[in-house]
Structure 1
Amino acid sequence: MLKNAREPMDAAEKSVRTNYYGTKHVTEALLPLLRSSSDGRIVNVSSNYGLLKHIGSEEVRRELNDIGSLTEERLDEMLDKFLGDFEAGELEAHRWPTKFSAYKVAKAAMNAYSRILARRHPALRVNCAHPGFVNTDMSMGSGVLTPEEGARNVVKVALLPDGGPTGVYFANGEEASFL
């Protein structure tokens, strides 16, 4: 798994497109339907790699955690900056993660986007859920949870009671910090 820790540029772009923009585009397409529901829920599958502690830049961490001020436009700018730094070989200089970097940054951006959505649509329940370290192809068979156990952790968040938390990160089915 560690031999894949430093990805090439095309893989970094694909990771950001999939893990952030893919989630965002599907969510935006479904928002009208979700808003018309009396109990709309969005649970974005996250990762402990998306926690802010994996980003070395205090400025970037602070900005991603300042949900009162952060905008989608600013998230796009930050991802463009990350990809530019990635392409220029400047990850370390700008204190971005250097291993699994695109995945970590995309998941951190997706977590922030989820919090922005929760603020913008208070009638919806918008949360992030890290299923745990699941034994899948993505973990190259090294995960400790079965796919069913990981899915159970995500479904638990989707089935939170009416009026439950929104804009929250859950790890292994329990509320946790974005940091």
Structure 2
Amino acid sequence: MPDTKIALVTGANKGLGLETARRLGEQGAVVLLGVRDEARGKQAADTLVAKGLKAQELRLDVTDGACVADAAREIDERYGRLDILVNNAGITGGFFGPPSGATAEQLREVYDTNVFGVVTVTNAMLPLLRRSSAGRIVNMSSNVGSLGLNADPDGEFRQYNVVAYQSSKTALNAITLAYAKELHGTTVKVNAANPGFTATDMNNHRGHQTVEQGAVIAVRLALLGPDGPSGTSQDENGTVPW
């Protein structure tokens, strides 16, 4: 399938992940839905197939290195390359109190998915992305991880102080930059997407944006042309400060 993009979206059985996969499928990509629960993944994939899209579930627990390696091997055997990786899987964790009340274990739980999981998946998929003529890595970040926005005493996040989730997204931003620097001069571009406050299960659907709106920037960065940027953090309106 030399002219068809192969895309992997982690955490893709619902919410932003599923919507991102749907949008990429509408652009002609074969979308692999990386999911922990294969039954839910198959159900999600079937909804896309019913719309005429090319989609399939792929067992992928980002916190399990062996599972990630198996997924990379399966993609290699089936397609021989990967064109798009959207690191969407993420959790907020269960602690929302002040930072002084947080434990290392509570942070570790969130980092295991939001940070270490991204590194595990990216490293496993990178050899496949390097085979693409236009590899794209999109890390699903959040404006709440921006140090610049959070440091603004008059900014919207001044009263928002969820240490585990916010700091994990700040770390994810740094990781995005690190991979962009490593891959500078190659055909692989790496960027962070900030979807905005989107209504998903993660926030009990309190977000003021729909998943259709939230997925816009992830899809845009996944489909960047050869002159597109790398090493940026963006929302639908443009660059977001680190």
Q: Could you state the TM-score of these two structures normalised by the residue count of structure 2? A: 0.52
- Kindly state the Cα deviation for residue 34 of structure 1 after the two structures are TM-superposed: 0.6
- The residue aligned with 2:172 is 110
- The residue aligned with 2:211 is 147
- 1:160 aligns to 2:209 (yes or no): no
- Unaligned residue ranges in structure 1 (runs of 5+): 57-96
Which whole-Å CA distance do the structure 2 matches of 1:116 and 1:177 have between them?
16
- 1:37 aligns to 2:132 (yes or no): yes
CA contact (8 A) 1:46 1:131 kept: yes
Which whole-Å CA distance do the structure 1 matches of 2:213 and 2:160 have between them?
30
Matches within 5 A, 1:12-51: 12-51=107-146
Q: Look up the SS of the partner of 1:142 in the other structure.
A: coil
Q: Which has the higher contact order (CA 8 A, sep 6+)?
A: 1
- The residue aligned with 1:11 is 106
Which whole-Å CA distance do the structure 1 matches of 2:239 and 2:223 have between them?
14
Which whole-Å CA distance do the structure 2 matches of 1:43 and 1:30 have between them?
13
- Kindly state the Cα deviation for residue 174 of structure 1 after the two structures are TM-superposed: 2.0
Q: Look up the SS of the partner of 2:229 in the other structure.
A: coil
The share of aligned pairs that are identical, in percent, is 38
- Kindly state the Cα deviation for residue 163 of structure 1 after the two structures are TM-superposed: 2.4
CA contact (8 A) 2:232 2:239 kept: yes
Q: C-alpha offsets along residues 95-126 of structure 1, whole Å, 9 cap, x if unaligned?
A: xx993101111111111111111111122110
- Kindly state the Cα deviation for residue 129 of structure 1 after the two structures are TM-superposed: 0.4
| Structure 2 residue identity aligned to 1:117 | Y
Indicate the structure with greater strand content. Answer: 2
Which whole-Å CA distance do the structure 2 matches of 1:40 and 1:15 have between them?
27
Q: Look up the SS of the partner of 2:201 in the other structure.
A: coil
Which whole-Å CA distance do the structure 2 matches of 1:147 and 1:158 have between them?
16
CA contact (8 A) 1:54 1:104 kept: no
CA contact (8 A) 2:95 2:106 kept: no
Which whole-Å CA distance do the structure 1 matches of 2:192 and 2:175 have between them?
10
CA contact (8 A) 1:50 1:108 kept: yes
Which whole-Å CA distance do the structure 2 matches of 1:116 and 1:125 have between them?
12
- Kindly state the Cα deviation for residue 161 of structure 1 after the two structures are TM-superposed: 1.4
- Tell me which structure has the larger Cα radius of gyration: 2
CA contact (8 A) 2:198 2:207 kept: yes
Which whole-Å CA distance do the structure 2 matches of 1:135 and 1:51 have between them?
20
Indicate the structure with greater helix content. Answer: 1
- Unaligned residue ranges in structure 2 (runs of 5+): 1-93, 152-158
State the Cα RMSD in Å.
2.3
CA contact (8 A) 1:136 1:143 kept: yes
- The residue aligned with 1:84 is none
Which whole-Å CA distance do the structure 2 matches of 1:38 and 1:29 have between them?
18
Q: Could you state the TM-score of these two structures normalised by the residue count of structure 1? A: 0.69
| Structure 2 residue identity aligned to 1:120 | E
The correspondence for 1:129, drawn from 193, 197, 214, is 193
- The residue aligned with 2:148 is 53
